[in-house]
Chains A and B, each alone.
Chain A
Amino acid sequence: MAGSTLASPTVSAAPEGIGATERASSGIETWRRFRRHRLAVASTVVLGLMLLAVALGPLLWQVPINDIDFAAHLEGPSWNHPFGTDDLGQDLLARMLYGGRISLAVGLAAMLVAIVVGTAIGAVAGMAHGSIDAALMWLTDLFLSLPPLPLLLLIIYLFREPLTQLVGPELGTFILVVAVIGGFRWMQVARLVRAQFLSLREKEFVEAARALGMSSLRMVMRHILPNSLGPIIVAGTIDVAAAIIAESTLSFLGLGFPPDIPTWGRILFDAKDYLDIAPHWALFPGMAIFLAVLAINFIGDGLRDALDPRTSA
């Protein structure tokens, strides 16, 4: 194994078997601690129900999202339209179930982008010494002092048209929004990962691995990164909430998804001029965004309690 950068499958199979049982027992311990945070558990249930609703809802509630019916426009909640209708008489429940898929998918995808970029930059900065570390941290600080929303708006304004022509309006906006939101959220992760790496790389077990001749890449992948997962998971959870808010904000300003893709923020944008006659139109999507974000924030809090060794006493 000495000096090898890529482990062969046979070599890595045995340690992983041991690692799996260890991880399982620590997983049970984490779950036991997570369960003590009642709001986090309740939030997990709420978020699970929301995910289930947007995943299966459109299959059960088969009302078309763009069925225009002027006879029923701006109606409040009723049996025919549980969430009411909008100014074109389109069913709001169907639109929200469909749009929720995109709102939540944007949140998850943008979180993944932020985590991958942040972990990569933080890991390189944490392992490298001297000028590379300093340069990467300067970049991180620079990004932290950039105002995200104006730049998001600027980038979307400049790049939306060409990308839309390239891959279509729906996918184009999705890629752009995810990339841009993720691209402005990696800094916190990068700093956490670097801080973890700086302390972990001096620990005895890493020293031992180094003495055995393990390559840096393997050391990072097998020893350092798995041990710094806790803060990454928590930051990632909260990033999902922040990304959902970011996407809704863009859509609310009329600069996110096009009108035929009713994300929750977009529905609010359309509803805001009818607040006096049809408040339900704004309240349902607003509550959906709020509930999703609140649930994710509570889950993040619960995970922090469960994963932070300092609170385990």
Chain B
Amino acid sequence: MAGFDPAIHAINTDWAGAKEDADHRVKPGDDDFEWEQSPALRPNCETGESRSVSRYLLRRLLIAIPSLLGISVVLFAVLALAPGDPFGELATNPNVPPEVGMALRAKFGLDDPIMLRYCRWLAAMLHGDWGFSFVSRVDVDTLILQRLAATLLVIGSSQVLALLIALPVGIYSAVRPYSIFDQVANLLAFVGFSLPTFFTGLLFILLFSIYLDWLPFVFRADIAATGWHWYWEQFKQSVMPVAVLGLLQGASWTRYVRSSVLEVIRLDYVTTARAKGLPERIVVIKHVVRNALIPVVTLVALQMPALFGGAIVTEQIFRIPGIGSLLISSILANDTPVIMAVTFVFACLVILFNLLADILYGWLDPRIAYR
């Protein structure tokens, strides 16, 4: 949802919740991670390191498989439990004789037991046979591939924007807690994640497209321009959607960064770093931030599913030809194969981003050995 989850995490960062999440992922003695007390114990030779990284990645991929299976079961269960019938329209359509309808049902095996149908559906999905759209008669996978790039571009740029806002603001607020800057930033962060994406989008359109007439409010895939002009147009039409998503994310990330830096900055090793005469800037950037970012990565990864919700709404407002607007239009057109496939792709993206978060841990915290 637009700002569905950010609030709860952003407000709960100080509760046990954040800690518990972090512990859940990185816990001493966990199968996947091992905390090693002394850096000398770590295998430091180049080949050993890279081999263990790839083995670690493989393990994480294997762990993702049960989640993917679980998601596919949930999706299939929802579809199977639904009282409607994907071929219901065929039965009521007077142009289709009942025999044809029955033959189609038999051909697609709709009367088979549910386990068999699930296995067949899963096998087809794994083969890359995702069916074709009822509406546009195009294979679902080509339809999704055409539109995936736009979605990923908008989401990716908004993440970068959020990072550019959250890191400096969050760190500066934590270094000077309860200062005027901190209080203003805190207030703005609350405003930021309380503004639903659909309302921010409309406000931006109202201000920048209608009153100021600076930016186009319809995203066009076919810009009639070449070279630099094309890039400029592309930039202009991406500004508002990216800003809508980026500000929402940035607002909640700011709070995570702030509370996480506040926790770390009180620790003894930071005092030690100061005591040995390091400049404050170095202490904060090199010693505090890197450790503080570990719980932030957890929270950000947990928020990924909600971000896709915001992306769907944003695509719908600005008519970006991505998979989110594809989902809405196929729901409005009762296009079941596309709906199922897009939902599944969103679920896969969530798992992919969780995987990226796991890799980031290893980079941020050398104590977590890749095993």
Contact = CB atoms under 8 A, between A and B. Distances in A.
A254 interface: yes
Interface stretch (B12-20, B92-100, B114-122, B224-232): B12-20
A195 B79 CA distance: 34
B78 A151 contact: yes
Given A148-B305, A249-B198, A254 B332 contact: yes
A290 B199 contact: yes
Nearest to B68: A145
A133 B193 CA distance: 33
Contact of B8 (A141, A157, A242, A311): A242
Interface in A248-307: 248-249, 252-255, 265, 268, 272, 275-276, 279, 282, 286, 289-290, 293-294, 297-298, 300-301, 304
Contacts of A276: 210
Contact of A252 (B20, B79, B198, B305): B198
Contacts of A293: 3, 7, 194, 196
B350 A297 contact: no
B199 A286 contact: yes
B5 to A, nearest CB: 7
A107 to B, nearest CB: 12
A154 B198 contact: no
A71 interface: no
A302 to B, nearest CB: 10
A252 B339 CA distance: 19
SS class of chain B's interface: helix, strand, loop or mixed?
helix
Nearest to B20: A195
Most B-side CB within 10 Å, residue of A188, A245, A304, A311? A245
B203 to A, nearest CB: 7
A196 interface: yes
B71 A234 contact: no
B74 A146 contact: yes
Interface stretch (B123-131, B281-289, B308-316): B308-316
Interface stretch (A55-63, A158-166, A205-213): A158-166
Given A142-B74, A191-B21, A245 B305 contact: no
Contacts of B199: 268, 286, 289-290
A304 B11 contact: yes
Contacts of B190: 39, 294, 297-298, 301
B306 interface: yes
Contact of B15 (A138, A161, A192): A192
Given A146-B74, A239-B8, A246-B1, A268 B305 contact: no
Given A145-B354, A275-B202, A157 B11 contact: no
A276 B205 CA distance: 9
Interface in B186-223: 187, 190-191, 193-199, 202-203, 205-206, 210
A147 B347 contact: yes
Q: Which of B11, B71, B205 has the most CB of A within 10 A?
A: B11
B14 A144 contact: no
Given A153-B327, A275-B202, A276-B210, 16 more contacts: A145-B347, A146-B71, A147-B305, A151-B343, A153-B331, A161-B83, A192-B12, A192-B20, A231-B17, A234-B12, A265-B198, A268-B198, A286-B196, A290-B199, A293-B196, A294-B190
30 contacts: A39-B190, A142-B74, A144-B305, A145-B305, A146-B347, A148-B305, A149-B312, A149-B313, A150-B312, A154-B340, A188-B9, A195-B20, A234-B15, A235-B17, A238-B7, A241-B7, A241-B194, A242-B4, A245-B196, A246-B1, A249-B309, A252-B198, A252-B313, A253-B312, A275-B205, A275-B210, A293-B194, A304-B12, A304-B15, A308-B14
- State the 3 A-B residue pairs at the shortest beta-carbon distance, nearest first: A149-B309, A158-B82, A294-B194
